[in-house]
């Protein structure tokens, strides 16, 4: 077991026991308590949770993805550093209110989810080689269609998750929207304005040329947040934060998704089983920490930080390092 694993882990346990939280050093528990005091509005978490490679980091024993998908969230949510998680599977297909209700059944009142909206809401045309096989090559009549989004995405999010509903994220893939950036900003504002009031909405774009003042103003007008995302081709983090309002924002929503020298497939090949920091990136980590500290000192809004395994190799370890850095910066 690597040194990084040892910082979290304990010895292997009987595989016959139910899934439980890994034995964590007292320092990790203390760190979680300190950050709840220093940065109470901040909720950090990983992008999904169903990874067997987190044995010793999150899980107390080996468990297959099927078990983790079914029973892992309650265990994950007891980790002292994890107060949120990204629910990714809703991008590939919406979940019912009943399924959302079941998901939150065993969560502490303090835990909130960042939920992705179904791709039908955000995709102009599905590629010819698409994960969505039944729609491959087709134009999408539900793109920015508020009635569908309200019925299939917003209502289950609100009614099912209730107090655990943290952020509803509309993730727009790299694509060409008819009319270009200007039309996109206008249609986006009209779309969000037509959605039910009350939920916390955020938007993540992956076209750098769509990150314009008009886009930012559109979000400001409807009270939504730009998701500050670390991805190849997107502007650097500080520029995204400053251009989207700096500390003057309804919520701080951030996602550390992918090392800039990888795509998702090469990142998976390089980093699986996601149990070690293969490509540590202290520069990006420090930038995220600076934004968080500056934001919470200036305006302590609800803040969410989601980290993917493909950012550095292991999202639980990335979060540990980020939490350690945050404690140092808040104490400075």
Question: What is the mean predicted confidence (pLDDT) over 165-177?
Answer: 97
pLDDT in tens, 307-321: 999 999 999 999 999
Residue span of the structural domain in which 209 resides: 3-331
Q: How far apart are CA 54 and CA 22, in angstroms?
A: 9
Q: How far apart are CA 9 and CA 314, in angstroms?
A: 14
Please state the pTM of the whole predicted model. Answer: 0.93
pLDDT above 80 for 249: yes
pLDDT above 90 for 70: no
Question: What is the mean predicted confidence (pLDDT) over 230-245?
Answer: 97
Terminal CA-CA length for the chain: 34
Residue 168, φ and ψ in degrees, nearest 5: -105, 115
pLDDT above 80 for 5: no
Beta strand 112-116 with 84-87 is: parallel
Question: What is the mean predicted confidence (pLDDT) over 273-296?
Answer: 98
pLDDT above 80 for 7: no
pLDDT in tens, 28-69: 999 999 999 999 999 999 999 999 999 999 999 999 998 998
Q: How far is CA 67 from CA 63, 79, 270, in A?
A: 6, 18, 25
**Cβ(101)–Cβ(156) under 8 Å?**
no
Question: What is the mean predicted confidence (pLDDT) over 232-241?
Answer: 97
Q: How far apart are CA 146 and CA 301, in angstroms?
A: 27
Q: What is the DSSP letter of 212?
A: -
pLDDT in tens, 132-164: 777 777 789 999 999 999 999 999 999 999 999
Predicted pLDDT at 139: 87
Predicted pLDDT at 17: 59
CATH of the domain at 124: 3.20.20.410
Query: Pick from 111, 3, 11: which is nearest to 55 by CA?
Result: 11
Question: What is the mean predicted confidence (pLDDT) over 67-74?
Answer: 92
From the CB of residue 266, how many other CB atoms can be counted at a distance below 10 Å? Answer: 13
State the Cα angle at 18 between 14 and 19, rounded to 5°. 95
Q: How far is CA 95 from CA 89, 151, 289, in A?
A: 9, 11, 33
Split into its structural domains, the chain has a count of: 1
Per-residue HEC secondary structure of 276-306 comes to CCCCCCHHHHHHHHHHHHHHHHHCCCCEEEE
For the ranges 79-88, 120-129, 315-324, which has the lowest average pLDDT?
120-129
Mean pLDDT, the chain, rounded, equals: 93
């Amino acid at each position: 077991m690597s040194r990084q694993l040892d910082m979290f882990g304990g010895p292997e346990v009987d595989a016959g026991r139910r899934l439980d939280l890994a034995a964590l050093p007292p320092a990790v528990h203390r760190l979680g308590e300190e950050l709840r005091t220093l940065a109470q509005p901040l909720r950090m978490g990983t992008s999904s949770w169903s990874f067997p490679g987190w044995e010793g980091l999150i899980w107390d024993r080996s468990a297959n993805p099927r078990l983790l998908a079914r029973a892992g969230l309650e265990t994950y949510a007891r980790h002292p550093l994890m107060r949120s998680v990204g629910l990714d599977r809703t991008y590939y297909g919406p979940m019912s209110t009943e399924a959302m209700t079941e998901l939150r059944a065993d969560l502490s009142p303090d835990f909130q989810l960042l939920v992705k909206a179904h791709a039908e809401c955000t995709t102009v045309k599905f590629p010819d080689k698409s994960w969505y096989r039944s729609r491959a090559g087709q134009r999408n009549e539900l793109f920015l269609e508020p009635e569908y989004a309200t019925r299939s995405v917003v209502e289950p999010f609100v009614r099912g998750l209730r107090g655990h509903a943290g952020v509803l994220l509309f993730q727009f893939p790299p694509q060409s929207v008819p009319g270009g950036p200007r039309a996109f900003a206008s249609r986006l504002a009209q779309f969000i304005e037509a959605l039910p009031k009350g939920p916390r909405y955020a938007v993540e774009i992956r076209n750098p040329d769509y990150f314009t003042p008009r886009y930012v103003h559109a979000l400001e007008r409807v009270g939504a947040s730009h998701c500050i995302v670390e991805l190849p081709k997107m502007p650097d983090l500080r520029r995204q934060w400053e251009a989207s309002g700096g500390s003057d924002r309804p919520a701080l929503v951030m996602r550390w998704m992918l090392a800039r020298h990888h795509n998702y497939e090469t990142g998976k090949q390089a980093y699986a089983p996601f149990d070690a920091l293969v490509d540590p990136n202290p520069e990006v980590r420090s930038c995220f920490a600076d934004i968080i500290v500056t934001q919470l000192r200036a305006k302590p809004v609800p803040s969410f930080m989601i980290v993917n395994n493909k950012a550095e190799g292991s999202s639980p370890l990335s979060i540990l390092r980020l939490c350690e850095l945050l404690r140092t910066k808040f104490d400075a």
